[in-house]
Amino acid sequence: MKPTDMPKEGAEMTEETEQMIEKNCAKEPENVASPGDAKEMRVVVLTSFGGLNKLRVTKKPMPDPQEGEVKIRVKACGLNFLDLMVRQGNIDNPPKTPLVPGFECSGIVEALGDNTTGFEIGDRVMAFVNYNAWAEVVCTPLDFVYKIPDDMTFTEAAAFSMNFVAAYMMLFEVANLREGMSVLVHSAGGGVGQAVAQLCSTVPNVTLFGTASPCKHEAIKDSVTHLFDRNIDYVPEVKKISPEGVDIVLDCLCGENTGKGLSLLKPLGTYILYGSSNMVTGETKSFFSFAKSWWQVEKVNPIKLYDENKVMAGFSLLNLLFKQGGCSQVKNAVHKLFSLYNEKKIKPLVDSLWALEEVKEAMQRIHDRGNIGKLILDVEKSPTPLMANDSTETSEAGEEEEEHEGDNDNKERMPFIQ
Amino acid sequence: MKPTDMPKEGAEMTEETEQMIEKNCAKEPENVASPGDAKEMRVVVLTSFGGLNKLRVTKKPMPDPQEGEVKIRVKACGLNFLDLMVRQGNIDNPPKTPLVPGFECSGIVEALGDNTTGFEIGDRVMAFVNYNAWAEVVCTPLDFVYKIPDDMTFTEAAAFSMNFVAAYMMLFEVANLREGMSVLVHSAGGGVGQAVAQLCSTVPNVTLFGTASPCKHEAIKDSVTHLFDRNIDYVPEVKKISPEGVDIVLDCLCGENTGKGLSLLKPLGTYILYGSSNMVTGETKSFFSFAKSWWQVEKVNPIKLYDENKVMAGFSLLNLLFKQGGCSQVKNAVHKLFSLYNEKKIKPLVDSLWALEEVKEAMQRIHDRGNIGKLILDVEKSPTPLMANDSTETSEAGEEEEEHEGDNDNKERMPFIQ
């Protein structure tokens, strides 16, 4: 990441309308049957990298599908930990702001670009998007769009795409999960963690070790064989139960945990780094955090892996999709997952639904690790009065004010959970 | 490796008989039906770490099987590149000399220790041994012994165990070789290389890239899709044919090749370091070579793997077997390989058979990379006259003389190839 890539705050704001959406302008759920004539759409916009106050709901011109693209009337969007990192600019090569965040959504096909085969208007789909998912309408290349099973709700589909695909590809393609193996996953209560738990349960006799905040243990204890407090050192806890270690370690923590994860592997075991949520600590973070993490992470000598018969891997679904042309590999995983869904072996766990206007509260909840399962932005949902008041309160001064560590951290919030 | 672990040359020689085996004392192949009464056995002994002159054939007391051990009348032993590294002391934590080298053999069960179930006297077996394989009789725990298929010769079995098990576990357990994938293997003409080639051919539509000395290309061209000269940079050659890279890189070269191997991987591809034959350059090598290689090898940042969606692994069959308790994993692989053998889908390729007394010539051949397929020590084979003369020529002065780089390198040899 080059500092020169970073736009100045407030720069390049001209192309978006600055008009805030009034609370009462949110559509009623009953009122969305024929929205195709609108020339504008509601979106969540990140005005510049920083705290929650950089997020707002605004209107943008409705996009038209280009050649090979599918235009989707969005029903639901997924919110991931990664979206927090994007908000903070805490990723490698961040895009320019203002931008519309979000990498996944579900909805109904509304139009097709030229040479866009395989879909029809009215198809129920889920899609990966390289940003711009948190909007009423999304256009994305057909390779990133999948028809969803008839029984799958839009909420489930938006909760499904990134988390289940990542969990599936890590467990079954990067690692090779088989009967009788053991897996360690961090943030076992989160979206990926719960997808991992469900996929592990599709294989006979898999032992799942998980870390999670103690407050979540009661809620997720049936999905994880052995649960540990995320605030304690899990290495001795795992070794007490399984002195020889585990077969697969899924690590979204990074930093010192790579060494810990490798040390916990059985021979031929696989450590997978799939995220770096330890990079997100406060509400805002220096743009150099990613680069700093890079240097702080312990590098590994291949001869150590040879000596110990271990496998070290990294997995980034978004890089695979949008930088590395991995659509066909992902499509293959999606189809296998749909089969498992149709056989009722897996079912996305949704933590809560939020209106677009409630995106700050939703982000705060995922930042505070309050969620169990997936947070969903429900495009048709009206903000609850309390949430809506809260949501618009700080947004007007957003793009001008300086950021403060811990901004918004101390407000008491009671998210609306469905 | 601590220098203090190294015995002085000539130390600890008392427990072995120093008598050299005369050429004419080698048994005739027809004469081995009832050798059970002998109190001594012929072995190859490494008197101290160093050049070829540290190897000799001598006699040692016949071992008795301990509890849980199988006593095997050895017919054939495998010779691996690793044996050269052992001879040079160029491994991590080398054992004390004198020692009997060798990690694999085949033969007939001659006796069983207490509580040794699952075998009967007369069973045809192959076995892994933690040293001591290059002998007329071997005792090893039953977990390392496998009954071989009726159709498999002893020569094939000794050529099979390490190379095919390593190739199988790397391709199918560490990596996840599937239809349509591509693999790069170095030393494609060697024992592992040819095992990899045969196993790749059991999966539809696998593309195999290989490096080998140009003189071997004609002999192995049918087993490898794309062959490159081992003396040129293979990276641009592979990329010319497959710009997006390959799915699996098997690297026995180490050093600078880790970076090269990783750079050649497709997304979700797997790089496996399974040996380090670049460590063996001259005839003898400093004891610190292994440690030096450790530091010279480029360490890899897990975040790089995350960013690029890549997998880096190490595989050491001997560590798995003898240090890490991986017997059951190996047994599983052996059984799958035997099925493939019985289906006539794989068949070990034997380069040449050598008498125990010809071990130096055999080692020279593998050092010079002259072999295509596996070198076998045939315990019942008489040395060919030329070979035998050559073999005993340097051995008497062996444990006293200083080593010289290139010792034996310039002699013209024409190995006896069957």
The residue of chain B with its CA nearest to that of A298 is B301
The reply to whether residue B309 touches residue A325, judged by beta carbons under 8 angstroms, is no
| Cβ neighbour number for residue A105 with a 10 Å cutoff | 31
Confidence grade of residue A89 (pLDDT, cut at 50, 70, 90): confident
DSSP calls for B161-201: HHHHHHHHIIIIIIS---TT-EEEESSTTSHHHHHHHHHHT
How confident is the model over B194-228, as pLDDT tens digits? Answer: 999 999 999 999 999 999 999 999 999 999 999 99
Contact yes or no for A89/A43 (Cβ under 8 A):
no
Contacts of A324 in chain B (CB under 8 A): 267, 308-309
Nearest to A302 among B244, B273, B304 (CB): B273
- The residue-averaged pLDDT of A378-395 equals 60
What average pLDDT is seen over chain A? 82
| B324-359 pLDDT per residue, tens | 999 999 999 999 999 999 999 999 999 999 999 999
SS3 A181: coil
Top mean pLDDT of A368-372, A386-390, B192-196, B288-292 is at B192-196
**pLDDT value at residue A135:** 98
What pLDDT shows up at residue B395? 36
Which percentage of chain B shows pLDDT scores above 70? 77
Q: How many other β-carbons are positioned within 10 Å of the β-carbon of residue A340? A: 16
Nearest to A306 among B169, B302, B316 (CB): B316
**B118's tokens:** 């699952």
More confident residue, B370 or B35: B370
> Structure tokens of B180?
């349509």
Question: What's the rounded mean pLDDT across residues A6-29?
Answer: 35
* Inter-chain CB proximity A258 and B302 less than 8 Å: yes
| Residue whose pair of structure tokens reads 């393609």 in the numeric block | A173
* Residues A297, B302: C-beta atoms closer than 8 Å: yes
The CA distance from B75 to B41, in Å, is: 13
> Is the Cβ pair B273, A299 closer than 8 Å?
no
Residue showing tokens 């994007």: A86
DSSP B86: H
Total residues found in chain A within this entry: 418
**What number is the average pLDDT over the span A26-40?**
51
Model confidence at A99: pLDDT above 80: yes
Nearest-Cα distance to chain A for B307, in Å, is 6
Q: What is the pLDDT of residue B12?
A: 34
pLDDT over threshold 50, residue B397: no
What is the DSSP secondary-structure string of A325-364? --HHHHHHHHHHHHHHHHTTS--PPEEEEE-GGGHHHHHH
Nearest one of B116, B118, B87, B114 to B103, comparing CA atoms: B87
Taking contacts as CB-CB distances below 8 angstroms, the residues of chain A near B315 are 306, 309
| Partner-chain contact A92 B307, CB within 8 Å | yes
Helix (H, G, I), strand (E, B) or coil at B60: strand
Is the pLDDT at A31 greater than 60, yes or no?
Answer: no
Please, where are the H alpha helices in A110-256? 154-168, 191-200, 214-220, 234-241
Give me the count of residues in chain B: 418
Give A214-282 as a DSSP string: HHHHHHHGGG-SEEEETTS-HHHHHHHH-TT-EEEEEESS-TTHHHHHHHTEEEEEEEEE---GGG--S
CB atoms under 10 Å from CB of A222, counted, come to: 9
User: Which residues neighbour B34 within 8 Å (Cβ) at sequence distance 6 or greater?
Assistant: none
CA A182 to chain B, closest CA, distance in angstroms equals: 15
Between A85 and A200, residue with greater pLDDT:
A200
Query: CB within 8 A of A156, min separation 6: which ones?
Result: A347, A348, A350
Q: Per-residue pLDDT tens for A247-275?
A: 999 998 665 678 899 999 999 999 999 97
Residues of B in contact with A168 (CB under 8 A): none
Q: Which amino acid is at A392?
A: T
Burial (CB count <10 Å: 0-12, 13-18, 19+), residue B414: exposed
Residues in chain B whose beta carbon is closer than 8 A to a beta carbon of chain A? Answer: 92, 169, 173-174, 176, 244, 254, 258, 267-268, 270, 273-274, 276, 293-294, 297-316, 319-320, 324-326, 329
Average pLDDT over chain B reads 82
Give mean pLDDT, residues B44-68.
Answer: 96
> Is residue B81 over pLDDT 80?
yes
Mean of the pLDDT values across residues B69-73? 98
Interface touch A276/B303, C-beta < 8 Å: yes
Predicted confidence (pLDDT) at residue B15 exceeds the cutoff of 90? no
**Mind telling me how many Å the CA of B160 is from chain A's nearest CA?**
21
Say if CB B56 and CB B292 are below 8 A apart.
no
Q: Is the pLDDT of residue A219 over 50?
A: yes
Of all residues in chain A, the one with the smallest CA distance to B299 is: A301
Residues of A within 8 A of B316 (CB-CB) are 306-307, 309
pLDDT of B13 over the 60 cut: no
**Residue A226, beta-bridge partner list:** A209
Q: Count the Cβ atoms, other than its own, within 10 Å of residue B225.
A: 16
Residue A28 pLDDT greater than 60, yes or no: no
Beta pairing, strands B69-79 & B104-112? antiparallel
**CA angle centred on B262, ends B259 and B264, rounded to 5°:** 110
- Reply yes or no on whether the pLDDT at B234 is more than 90: yes
Residue B65 has pLDDT above 60, yes or no: yes
Average of per-residue pLDDT across A189-207 = 95
Residue with tokens 């870390």: A211
How many angstroms separate the CA of residue B300 from the nearest CA in chain A? 5
Q: What is the pLDDT of residue A183?
A: 98
pLDDT classification of B382: cutoffs 50, 70, 90: confident
pLDDT at A30 over 50: no
Q: Specify the 3-state DSSP secondary structure of B365.
A: helix
A417 versus A274: which is more confidently predicted?
Answer: A274
Closest CA to B192 of B351, B413, B18: B351
- Among B298, B302, B314, beta carbon nearest to A306: B314
Residue A43's pLDDT is what? 97
pLDDT value at A408 more than 60: no
pLDDT more than 70, % of chain A: 77
Q: What percent of chain B has pLDDT over 90?
A: 65
* C-alpha–C-alpha distance, residues B127 and B43, integer Å: 17
Please give the pLDDT value at position B159: 95
- Give the mean pLDDT of A343-370: 93
Q: Are A387 and A360 in contact (CB under 8 A)?
A: no
- Residues A320, B306: C-beta atoms closer than 8 Å: no
Query: Which residues are within 8 A (CB) of A274 and not within 5 positions of it... i.e. 6 or more apart?
Result: A166, A170, A192, A250, A251, A252, A314, A315, A316, B306
Hey, are the CB atoms on A303 and B314 less than 8 Å from each other?
Answer: yes
- Mutation pick from A90, A297, A307, A322 vs chain B, by most beta carbons of B within 10 Å, is A307
By mean pLDDT, which of A28-42, A91-105, A312-326 is the weakest?
A28-42
User: Could you tell me which residue, B294 or A306, shows the higher pLDDT?
Assistant: A306
- Of the candidates A301, A313, A316, the beta carbon closest to that of B299 is on A301
Lowest average pLDDT, out of A72-86, B149-163, B375-389, goes to B375-389
Measured in angstroms, the CA of A300 and the nearest CA of chain B are apart by 5
pTM above 0.95, yes or no: no
Using DSSP's 3-state secondary structure scheme, residue B299 falls into coil
pLDDT digits (tens, 9 = 90+) for A313-335: 999 999 999 999 999 999 999 99
Question: What is the C-alpha to C-alpha distance for residues B264 and B240, in angstroms, rounded to an integer?
Answer: 12
Q: Are A307 and B92 a contacting pair, CB within 8 Å?
A: yes
Spatial CB neighbours of B214, under 8 Å, sequence gap ≥ 6: B229, B231
CB contact under 8 A, A254 and B302: yes
Long-range contacts of B383-388 (CB under 8 A, 24+ apart): B383/B23, B383/B26, B383/B355, B383/B357, B383/B358, B384/B355, B384/B358, B384/B416, B385/B23, B386/B414, B386/B416, B387/B354, B387/B355, B387/B357, B387/B358, B387/B361, B387/B415, B387/B416, B388/B23, B388/B355, B388/B357, B388/B358
More confidently predicted of A344 and A191:
A344
Q: Which one-letter DSSP state was computed for residue B407?
A: T
Comparing alpha-carbon positions, the chain A residue that sits nearest to B178 is A173
Using CA atoms, how far apart are residues A158 and A378, in angstroms rounded to an integer? Answer: 9
Q: What contacts A132, CB < 8 A, 6 or more positions away?
A: A43, A99, A100, A102, A138
State yes or no: pLDDT of A301 exceeds 70: yes
pLDDT higher than threshold 50 for residue A214: yes
Q: Which of A23, A6, A18, A112 is nearest to A64 (CA)?
A: A112
Looking at the predicted structure, is the pLDDT value of residue A307 above 80? yes
Nearest Cβ partner for B315 among A244, A300, A306: A306
Which residues lie below 8 Å from residue B17, measured CB to CB, with a gap of 6+?
B40, B58, B59, B60
- If you write DSSP's letter for every residue of A362-380 in order, what string do you get? HHHHHHTT--SSEEEEETT
Q: Are B355 and B387 in contact (CB under 8 A)?
A: yes
Give the pLDDT band (50/70/90) at residue B276. low
Tell me, what's the pLDDT at B385? 56
